[in-house]
Structure 1
Amino acid sequence: MAKHAFVFPGQGAQFSGMGKNLYDAHPSVKDLFEQANEILGFRISDIMFTGSDEALKQTNITQPAIFIHSVAAFKTIEGAMPDMVAGHSLGEFSALVANGVLSFDKALQLVSIRAQAMQKACEANPSTMAAVLNLPDEKVEEICAAVQAETGEVVVAANYNCPGQLVISGSVAAIDLACIKMKEAGAKRALVLPVGGAFHSPLMEPAKAELAAAIESAVFNTPTCPVYQNTVAKAVSDPMEIKNNLINQLTGAVKWTQSVQAMVADGASEFTECGPGKVLQGLVGKIAGAAVTTNGVS
């Protein structure tokens, strides 16, 4: 039987003005934004609607902003009944609201803790990420391992976005060297990204410890449908397992390609992206050739 998957974007999808149309058009969304402002202790809605691109790039702003927008977009879909959900990195928190594992307020509190912890880890450890295009995953992994052995510094495969697009993560020196070696090996591009740190790598270990304490003490409900989690790329329904995977996600790879492939194998034929931008629409198309609709893109 054909199944409907709902997917939620992560960091990088933000833009100035995000969510304003949803706020203006739906009283329930207005209430959601005001609730978010109260939980966070500042008017994030003002930054989302009129803030500069620079302000929106700050991890401690970006993550809650994308989460709020994504949940708002999902809630405006009449009769939305996902058969399965998934989120790219941060988007996993939005997915867990959509399938009832977390309440909006609890998820936002966790996202805020995660964002602040990641910001601190970035400031303590200058590090970065780079996108590698048109090189087999195995070759990227092999070069990362060789650079780690040579330099003694961290560089790992972090985001398996789609076939031919893998993001690596690590120290600045190791990323720079890895990019040179990726190009020598035939990569079309190996491009350092404008991000604040080495997300989804061992360099996020301090943030992981902080987030783990908050997640472990939070109530996770039984989901209404499975979530395909980044670190395991398969359907998960057990709340304790969901917690562990969410904690491990900070230092583990985002297996987006593998997650979408697993969803399709389990019957997904329709995907709806909820949140700012259309990043996942493009990735799902490249992974599975599946049709994707978007909701709440501005």
Structure 2
Amino acid sequence: MEVQRGYLRIPINHRLLPQPSQFSPSLAPTPVLLLFGATPIFHVDFTSTVHPPHTQPSARFAALSSSQRHNKTANMFMARSEYGMLTLYFTRLGTWLICVPDRGINTFSPEGRLFQVEYSLEAIKLGSTAIGVATSEGVILGVEKRVTSTLLETSSVEKIVEIDRHIGCAMSGLQADARSMVEHARVECQSHAFNYNEPLRVESCTQAICDLALRFGEGADGEETIMSRPFGVALLIAGFDEDGPQLFHAEPSGTFYRYDAKAIGSGSEGAQAELQNEYHKSLTLTDAETLVLKTLKQVMEEKLDAKNVQLASVTREKGFRIYTDEEMATVVERLPAN
């Protein structure tokens, strides 16, 4: 068995079908049209789940009767794996197992899953680590700034941004996608302040962002389509309003939850375990700063310093603010040596 451009080929004899390179993986109907005119000679029954290209499919072949061979609906067998729709075509020329990635972003699988949304969550795991910690005094956000080149200006790597004077967010995933979500949140905050002469609540701002996250795909009649795919970014939204300091986690699926402490990104698993052990309700803002940096230090591949991490805080008195280089150097110096 071999894999070429998303296709799996199982030859029965040496008279093979055209090479997979002649077809586009995005054009699923092409192989179907070529094979519909052929006469099927085998039937297949899967005996285990197929996950190409990581495992080999286990299938049982059986000869078809003469009447079955001329049944146009019997010349293919379809199944679904987490990698896409699997279709087996049987002809006298050979057998093809074709894996077409799931492209229906608004279509549920038979198991009730939206594969493209699940894939977008995987994109977040490739992003830099971001951590948020809420205390009674305010919320601290911290992110890892990946510096991929000595020629890169670290100040241009923005992983924490301000949404309003009392709200900010940290991001992990595709930064370009985050820009669209942040701009939408800023417009919502300004519109609410203009119409009602009051700041937008943190939860309402998060709700507006998650509503945007759901507006992908073809869209319904009269509904504007923002993206042709789900957003590949997750946000930690921190703010302070009449309900006190709050920290929310927003996902590409449109789901959001409130947390006392949360980590996202490539190092989220280890960071979340550390937060689970170290967090307690009596933390001060200074304690939260130390906890965020100490956790980032454990999951970062590079040595932590004032240049490759960024902190921000949101409090009642000062609102949202991003730490300066001098403040970052001071906080990093407070970290324990080990």
- Give TM-score scaled by structure 2 length: 0.26
Which protein is richer in strand relative to its size?
2
- Give TM-score scaled by structure 1 length: 0.29
* Bigger CA radius of gyration: 2
Higher relative contact order (Cα pairs below 8 Å, separated by 6+ residues): 1
